Structure 1
Amino acid sequence: MKFERNADAIYITINCICVTVGLIGGIMANLNLVTVEDLQQLKIELIEEIRKSRKQEESKMESKQWLRSSEVRHLLKISPGTLQNLRIKGTLPHDKIGGIFYYAYSDVAGLLERIGNR
């Protein structure tokens, strides 16, 4: 199996076992067979690729001192309404500059830690 990744997608090439089968009337057909082991290996490799991709995204976020709303929602896996509630309740400190909300990465990480310790 081979993986190729670009900004939008991961492409997977699976090598199959090809079997030539004789059919009635002398017509030949090729069948591609994928074994259970092939699928299990694909699953393992996909999970690893997803983990690598998530770690890269998280390391990009960690290097930033300030995050925008969309980045915070992505990290916390929350909706815009939930983020608004966190702002209103004062649970997540923020600054608003020119109509855009900014959040300190340290505050977001602290919130994640507090939520995880419940």
Structure 2
Amino acid sequence: MKVCVIQSGGFAGTISHYEVDADTLPPADADQLKKLVHCLDLPSSEQRFDEQSTDLKQYEVTVEYQGETVCLVFDERNIPAPVRPLLKFLQAHAARQPSSIRHRNRPE
């Protein structure tokens, strides 16, 4: 299972990329990642945006699991509740385990 999050936009217009491969994580962290993804109940790709808020951060979450790829795209005002813990997990692990997770800021 791989999970990738691209966070972009906001007032400053920065782009951050977080990517986790469950196969490279310690077993307990890999299990937690899988539980967080299963809580998403991924039916298919979807988008949620507030068209009046152009300065909000935008998130693109891509999950690759069992040969399927699902992409969720939303702004910070419309983050689905089950996605919030996953975003926190990815951000925390990007800071803690850089050898297992890629995190980089890219200019536009």
TM-score by length of 1: 0.23
Higher strand share: 2
Higher helix share: 1
